[in-house]
Structures are given as C-alpha cells and as structure tokens.
Structure 1
Amino acid sequence: MWRKTFSALRQPCLRIACRRHSSTNTTVSSAVNSMLLRSLKDHYLEVSKMVPPPKVSPPASFTILAGALDGNGPVLKRTFNDKEEINISVMRLANIIPAGNGNDNDDDDSMNQLFLHVNVSKPGQQDSLHFLCGLYPDALGIHSVSMRPKAESSGILVVPSQYTGPVFEDLDESMRDALHSYIDERGVNESLFPFLQAWLYVKDHRNLMRWFKSVGIFINESKSA
C-alpha cells in the first residue's frame, strides 16, 4: 500500500519537473535564436552598405555569360577565327588555400592571385584544349595544358580519366613560349585581370548577402515552428 501511495504522489511531481525542464529549454532556445537572428541582420545590413568597386568591362572581344554570377561555370566567352570557342572560368587562390598565418600582406597577395580554367573547343571535336593558368595584375602563367573530353550537350568539362599530358615545367622553353603565345593570341592574358577581380568581388558580395538571408530565413522558420 505504501508503495502504491508513494508512486501516486511521485508521478505528478515528475510530470511537473518535465514540464518545467521543457519550458526552460524552449526559453533558452528562443533566446539563442533571437540572438542569432539579430546578429545575422546586423551583418546583413553592414555588408549591404559596402561600396562596390567601379564597374569594369571585359576586353571587347569577350562577352559575359548570362547567369554567371549565380553559378559556378564559365564567366567569359569569345569566338576566335570564326571556329574556336573559348570559355573562361575563374576562382581566387584565397578560396582554395586558406591564409596560413593571418598576415595581412599574405591575404592581399592571395586576393590578387586568380586561377583561370581556359577551355578552347572546336565544332565537331570531342576533346577540348584545357589550360589551367595563374592570373596576376601584371602577368599570366600556365600551370598545365591538357586534352579533355567535352560533354556536347552541356558544355561541361569532364574530369579526365586518361593521360592528359606532361608536366608543363618539363616542356622545353620553346614549347612553353609557344603555348603562352597561343593563348595570348586568343586574348587570354593580364588584360583580363581588372574585370575578373571586380567580377569576383560582386559574386562574393552577392553570395555573402544570400548566405546571411538564407540562414536567417531558416532560423526564423524554426523559431516560428
């Protein structure tokens, strides 16, 4: 009997304790969500006030691909000699290799180092000539040259599964110079840097704004639920 009486007295207490614990968790979670939403809003407003760089146009021979700011594909394209199509994709070294020691000078240097994927294709050819280049304000260097299969339907370069060519630095100097002349003749040189640097700034700014907004919407919906 005592056991039954003790159990009967204890059960309501347990339910009350659980409700209080649940209520405390809900209060803490709501406070955390509110704090995070406030921080996201503050940063969103701060970033929205950043002054963009002066508008820069690409060299006259190139055109900007529609929707390039919202995707990860090529940024610029041009036609050369009425038969070659040249597509250029770009990314920053800073987005590939994180800063090592937090030195501001190193950060500035990495922001001024761009990687280009230059794809030269011809009608009826299944393979494309692909250049991986480093682009700087005053120079362009070739890291590798390879032949890669191209998906005709989408124009997306497929990751090669076969031998793609020798290490660029192992080629003799005359061959390296000739390859530099080849892409320079097609307008792929340091003249692209001002536009691509400004374009990446706009893209990074847009992505950051979109990130603050999407995270805020997610947290706010969780809060409402």
Structure 2
Amino acid sequence: MWRKALVSVGGALQPCRVTAFRRSSSVSTAVNSMLLRSLKEHYLEISKMTPPPKVSPPQPFTVVKGALDSATPVLKRTYGDEVISIYVMRLANIIPSGGGDDDDDDGINQLFVHVDISKPGQKDSLHFLCGLYPDALGIHSVSMRPKLETSGFLVVPTKYNGPVFQDLDGKMRDALHGYIEERGINESLFPFLQAWLYVKDHRHLMGWFKSVGTFINERKQEASLA
C-alpha cells in the first residue's frame, strides 16, 4: 500500500517527494544543531554568573530543606504554640510590568510574601498576603484558610476571604501590622528572601536550558537512527 502511494498514475516513482523530504530533514537537522549550540552557550554563560553573597535569615527563622525545588515554605519558625511559614515569589511574576529598566529594578525589589500562621487543634490557618520591600512591608489581605499540608500557597479560597484590607479602618490596619511584626514579619526578611529567589531562579534557568537541550538532542539522535 505504501509502495503504491509512491507511484504516479503512469507507474513511475516520483523522486521529487523524496528529494523534498531529504531537504526538509537536512534543514531540520541544521535548525536543531543551531538551537543546541545556542542553548549550550547560554547554559555556560549562566553557569559562570557570580551568586550573591550568602545571607542568613533573621533569627529565629530557619530555612526549610528542599524549598528550592518544591512548593514548600521557604522559612519557618515557632511563636509560642504557633507555627509560622513564609512563602515568597517576585511581585513582577504575578503582576507583569510594561517593560523598561526602571520597571525591572522595581520588580527585583518587590517581593510577594505569603505568611501562614497555624495553631494545633485548629483546622484553619491565618493567612497574610504581603508586599515586601527593602525598607517596608505592606499587607494586601488577611484571611482564614484551610491548613496547608503539601500543596502550594496559591490556593483558591472556597469561602469568604475577608474584607479588602484598605477598607478596614486605620486602627485595625495598624493592629494587624503590629500582629505580624511581633512575629518577626518585617523588612528584615528582605535580604535573605531576595538572595534565595536569585538562587532559585538561577537553578531553574539552568535546569530549563539543560532539559530543553536534552529533549532536542534526543530527538536529533532518534532522527539519525531512523
């Protein structure tokens, strides 16, 4: 059946199709090789970047093992019978800027912090969503949510998520700021979390170049064996 498909009405084989296939295969191989070279060059360039100076988290916070490669908290501490967990990402990754050097600088200096405060015997935790800057911390929202076990922090709430923080009166806002500051949630966390995110971004970027290169190279080898 496949042989018949290669034969024209007159019974003669049509070599142009084979030629076109070979040309297409040749172009594909060249594109793959060019892409692999580019990926390798960028991988080597990224691997030579100097990491930021090592920064320790403010006491008594401790770094959660494995946080660089998972959705677990970055930092944890206890406060009385409370367990306080901190998750972080860049604010620019949630609210993309319009571009420009100034926007990029602002994105580096704006972190999105999720604070989870849990107590034994309580099925819900108190959650603070905050913007963290080198010299300040601002609360975006406060809510009660189910305790986090193995999932990440971006969980869609299934019940009332609380009032808009800015709609609360000034005394209430000040009291909530005082509540988390008493637990060590303030701008002192910024240097460590910024450096930690740099290491995480760097690791993920190198992993991306490597995994894409491995995929392209395997497909290239498969094509050469076909």
Contact 1:150/1:156 (8 A) holds in 2:
no
Cα distance between partner residues in 1 of 2:193 and 2:31: 40
Contact 2:71/2:152 (8 A) holds in 1:
no
Structure 1 residue 155: deviation in Å? 6.7
Query: 1:221 corresponds to which letter in structure 2?
Result: E
SS in 2 for 1:169: helix
Task: Structure 2 unaligned segments of length 5 or more: list them.
Answer: 1-8
Structure-2 change in CA distance of 1:43 and 1:119 (3 Å):
same
SS in 1 for 2:204: helix
Query: 2:17 corresponds to which letter in structure 1?
Result: C
1:127-206 equivalences under 5 Å are 127-151=124-148, 154=150, 158-206=155-203
Structure-2 change in CA distance of 1:21 and 1:52 (3 Å):
same
Structure 1 residue 94: deviation in Å? 1.6
Cα distance between partner residues in 2 of 1:159 and 1:120: 17
Cα distance between partner residues in 1 of 2:206 and 2:186: 31
Structure-2 change in CA distance of 1:121 and 1:27 (3 Å):
same
Query: 1:74 corresponds to which residue?
Result: 73
Q: What is the root-mean-square deviation in Å for CA atoms of aligned residues?
A: 1.4
Structure 1 residue 99: deviation in Å? 2.6
Cα distance between partner residues in 2 of 1:143 and 1:213: 37
1:80-119 equivalences under 5 Å are 80-81=79-80, 83-100=81-98, 102-119=99-116
Structure-2 change in CA distance of 1:21 and 1:156 (3 Å):
closer
Query: 2:16 corresponds to which residue?
Result: 17
Contact 2:84/2:116 (8 A) holds in 1:
yes
Query: 1:123 corresponds to which residue?
Result: 120
Query: 2:205 corresponds to which residue?
Result: 208
Q: TM-score, normalised by structure 1?
A: 0.91
Percent identity between matched residues is 69
Range moving further from structure 2, 67-76 or 116-125: 67-76
Q: TM-score, normalised by structure 2?
A: 0.91
User: Would you say how many aligned residue pairs link Structure 1 and Structure 2?
Assistant: 213
Q: Deviations over 1:121-162 (max 9, x none)?
A: 0001001000000000000000000001125x5375553111
Q: Deviations over 1:95-124 (max 9, x none)?
A: 122230x32112101110001000000001
Structure-2 change in CA distance of 1:154 and 1:98 (3 Å):
closer
Cα distance between partner residues in 1 of 2:167 and 2:18: 72
Query: 1:88 corresponds to which letter in structure 2?
Result: I
Structure-2 change in CA distance of 1:111 and 1:216 (3 Å):
same
Cα distance between partner residues in 2 of 1:96 and 1:114: 10
Query: 1:42 corresponds to which residue?
Result: 41
Cα distance between partner residues in 1 of 2:136 and 2:43: 36
Cα distance between partner residues in 1 of 2:122 and 2:57: 28
Query: 1:72 corresponds to which letter in structure 2?
Result: A
Contact 2:134/2:187 (8 A) holds in 1:
yes
Q: Deviations over 1:15-70 (max 9, x none)?
A: x2221111111100000000000000000000001000000000121011111001
Structure number with bigger Rg: 1
Contact 1:64/1:77 (8 A) holds in 2:
yes
Structure-2 change in CA distance of 1:36 and 1:156 (3 Å):
closer
